[in-house]
Amino acid sequence: MPGAIYAEGLVKHFGDVKALDGVDLDVPEGTVLGLLGPNGAGKTTTVRCLTTLLRPDRGTAIVAGIDVLKHPDAVRRSVGLSGQFAAVDEYLTGRENLQMVGQLYQMRGKAAKARAAELLEQFHLTDAADRPTKTYSGGMRRRLDLAAALVVRPPVMFMDEPTTGLDPRNRQQLWDVIKQLVSSGTTLLLTTQYLEEADHLAHDICVVDHGRVIARGTSDQLKAQTGGERVEIVVRDRAHMAAAAEVLRGFGKGDTTVEEHTRKLTVPVTGGAKLLAEVIRELDSRGIQMDDVGLRRPTLDDVFLSLTGHVAEENADESGEDPQDPKSHRKHTKEPAQ
């Protein structure tokens, strides 16, 4: 039996551009699928096809048990969509926006009103409820947009880059909201170009590039495909680099990478924390001082790089950037022609 979101062989052309080139997806009920890929990979087009906004040229799509191409209106009743741009009316208040969406979901006026109040409360927007959303911050608008997608408590949710452009605090807040949502049983398809975000929220990940799914699995499975862990050290004194490299070679399972300008050395290892301790003791006994030392597991950045041969984002200069720093995950351009 297909999952809550199921797609087979989705193909979509925009003129000569093949935006989707046979996308297959299967998301079991109550789970989160992260659709991961760079700009223009086809993430947004996939979401638009699954939410009835675009008609695929070929392929099958079934959402919440309903054939998307045959019964688009029935699908619309069962899904919530939160888009890449916070789609709320800026001249309407938060409350008016939610009431309008409720009414357009065919709720009665009174029910729409009650539901709007409930959502404003849940998303901590009650204080701002009666202000035009023009005055909202970016994070507040995103929350309102998400609330609008949840008006009818849809069993299936689609979020297209929900945290793009948000600062770390707002991103964390939105993640918490999404986690709560999922814990209550909603099936979610989430697109992101933040590898960290997929790692954080998704049960399964599909990596897309050039309109095709090029890898799928859990975060751990994908990382295992890329290779194991590495020891990474930064020596204090440049003069010690050669000696440090010699030590690492003794423990490593592969080539040692040396970066002169950052005084950083990296070597693939097996043996985890125990081995790391041995490395540190050995370096210490030779009097090599370190600024930093650590056991590094592959991030999804590494996964992406090894799968596609390019990093997940343009202008991301090296995959070794601190993956915990969301500022290094800025979005640079919009997906074209969508």
Partner 1 sequence: MSAVHDAAPVAARTNPVSQLVRDSLVIAHRNLIRMARIPEMLVFGLLQPIMFVVLFTYVFGGSVQVGASTSKEAYREFLMAGIFAQTVTFATAGAGAGIADDMHKGLIDRFRSLPMARGAVLTGRTIADLVQTALTLVVLAVVAVIVGWRTHENFGKVLAGFGLLLLFGYAFSWIGALIGLSVRTPEAATSGGLIWLFPLTFISNAFVDANKMPTFLRHIAEWNPFSATVQACRELFGNLPPGFRTPGAWPMQHPVWASLIWSAAIILLFRTLAVRKYRSATA
Binding site for partner 1 (CB under 8 A): 48, 51-55, 73-74, 76-79, 81, 83-92, 96, 100-101, 103-107, 122, 132, 148, 150, 152-155, 177, 180-181, 184-186, 338
What single letter denotes the amino acid at residue 327? K
Find out whether 178 and 162 touch, Cβ atoms under 8 Å. yes
Provide DSSP, 28-95: -TT-EEEEE--TTSSHHHHHHHHTTSS--SEEEEEETTEETTT-HHHHHHHEEEE-SS----TTSBHH
Q: Position 103: which residue type? A: Q
Distance (Å, rounded) from C-alpha 33 to C-alpha 86? 21
In terms of Cα–Cα distance, which of 299, 304, 322 is closest to 314?
A: 304
Which of 23, 88 has the CB closer to partner 1? 88
Closer CB to partner 1, 177 or 233, in the complex: 177
Write down the least CB distance from residue 114 to partner 1, Å: 12
Q: How far is the CB of 40 from partner 1 (least distance, A)?
A: 15
Q: Which is nearer to partner 1, 64 or 195 (CB)?
A: 64
Q: Give dist(CA 93, CA 91) in Å, integer.
A: 7
Distance of CA 58 to the CA centre of its chain: 26
CB of 181 to partner 1, least distance (A): 6
Tell me the closest approach of the beta carbon of residue 111 to partner 1, in angstroms.
Answer: 9
Nearer to partner 1, 86 or 231 (CB): 86
Distance (Å, rounded) from C-alpha 219 to C-alpha 226?
Answer: 11
C-alpha 279, offset from chain centre: 35
Q: What are phi and psi of 331, to 5 degrees?
A: -90, 135
Q: Please say which residue, 131 or 296, places its beta carbon nearer to partner 1.
A: 131
* Smallest gap from residue 85 Cβ to partner 1 (A): 4
Q: Which is nearer to partner 1, 18 or 264 (CB)?
A: 18
Compute the distance between CA of residue 292 and CA of residue 196 in angstroms, rounded to an integer.
22
Q: How far is the CB of 299 from partner 1 (least distance, A)?
A: 29
Specify which residues 6 forms β-bridges with: 26, 62
- Please, what is the minimum distance in Å from the beta carbon of residue 100 to partner 1? 5
| Sign of the Cα pseudo-torsion (246, 251, 256, 262, in order) | negative
The nearer residue to partner 1, 33 or 101, going by C-beta atoms, is 101
Distances (CA, A) of 164 to 49, 61, 75, 95, 332: 21, 26, 26, 24, 10
- Closer CB to partner 1, 200 or 216, in the complex: 200
Tell me the residue type at 184: S
Rounded Cα gap, residues 333 and 149, in angstroms: 25
Q: How far is the CB of 164 from partner 1 (least distance, A)?
A: 13
Is 185 or 287 the residue whose CB approaches partner 1 more closely?
Answer: 185
Instruction: Write down the least CB distance from residue 219 to partner 1, Å.
Output: 24
